[in-house]
Amino acid sequence: MSDDLNPISPDEAIQMYLSDRVDLRQRSRRAHEYRLKQLKKWLHEEGIDDLTELTGRDLARYRRYRIEDCEVAPSTLRGNSFTYKAFLEFCESIEAAPEGIASKVRIPSLNEDELVRTHDLQPDRVDDVLDYLAKFEYASRDHVTLALFFHIGCRLGGLRAIDVGDFHPDENFVEFNHRPPATPLKNGTSGERWVALTDEIVELIEDYRRVNRHDVTDDQGRRPLISTRQGRFSESAIRELIYRLTTPCWIGGCPHDREIETCEATETGRRSLCPSSRSPHDVRSAAIIRMKREGLPAEVIERRVNATQEVIEQHYDERPREEKLRDRMEQRREHIEVL
């Protein structure tokens, strides 16, 4: 520790930093808080309770921890690093960290392949957003909407169609019913099904109903599960919500070198302008990919998400092309023995 530095805990320094950042919008401030809590937790586990003792080697070890243990995406690591650098620059300015420590934060660059991957909505990216919502906006409409999309893998129209009476918390399932013209299902009555829910999702929906759901009816006199003050959530509003939640700056920083405070893609109605924001269909895709990775049988996924096995294999099978073609050939081989 330098002679002109006084000991300071990470928690105290973070609180001072957040109080100083009056320029941040509320959501940006919460994102900074979320990232710095991750850093604080690691520092505590490593026994680093005084930021004046922080070294470049510590920062290198934390970077390696985020990459190898947390398996964060390159775009997330890049966005987080900007926050860590800003925080340590502030600490230097108040003599709470060694001079020059902020310059030792390495900001990773993204190659072309990594930029392409940030445009794909992978399951772990949805999990990151859900973790953030669970911490800062638990049981909000945003939280329950994204959680249901990702847990069930349903379509936008299906989620919007759910009424309060379709939700059965005592038996842990939800119904999808075809009710034209207001809330039709894409595949009509063949899309009708009962879908099982986990205890965690049921508890989330129940908490949302008790606290945050607007107790209203729609134009048909029905009680939508996901509601607004005016009635049923519109398709355009749901689409805008998902675009907003999937912009990387929501929790991880911008991988496109934009100034978040002035970026046009942060404006309501323009979220889709972000190169990395994704649609409700992409959340459905991420959900199906997750189910396949976890080994759910194809017929279970087919019935849960209301899609044929052919479509699921064509669009959501991540295996190399040669492996998929060989597997399908072997499946067909079983049926040619009689020839």
Tens of pLDDT, residue by residue over 126-154, are 999 999 999 999 999 999 999 999 999 99
pLDDT digits (tens, 9 = 90+) for 197-215: 999 999 999 999 999 999 9
Half-sphere exposure of 77 (CA within 13 A, CB side): 23
Please give the Cα distance from 328 to 284 (Å, whole number): 24
Domain with CATH 1.10.443.10 in the chain: 123-273
pLDDT of 315 reads 64
CATH code of domain 123-273:
1.10.443.10
Task: Report the relative pairing of strands 167-168 and 173-176 from DSSP bridges.
Answer: antiparallel
CATH code of domain 10-108:
1.10.150.130
User: Mean pLDDT over residues 8-16, rounded?
Assistant: 95
Domain with CATH 1.10.150.130 in the chain: 10-108
Look up the pTM and report it. Answer: 0.68
Nearest Cα to Cα of residue 293 among 177, 122, 175: 122
Contact 246, 276 (CB under 8 A): yes
Angle of helix 74-93 relative to helix 10-20, nearest 10 degrees? 90
Angle of helix 309-316 relative to helix 280-293, nearest 10 degrees? 100
Contact 228, 255 (CB under 8 A): no
- Environment class of residue 83 by beta-carbon count within 10 Å: exposed (0-12), middle (13-18) or buried (19+)? buried
Nearest Cα to Cα of residue 192 among 181, 173, 176: 176
pLDDT of 144 reads 98
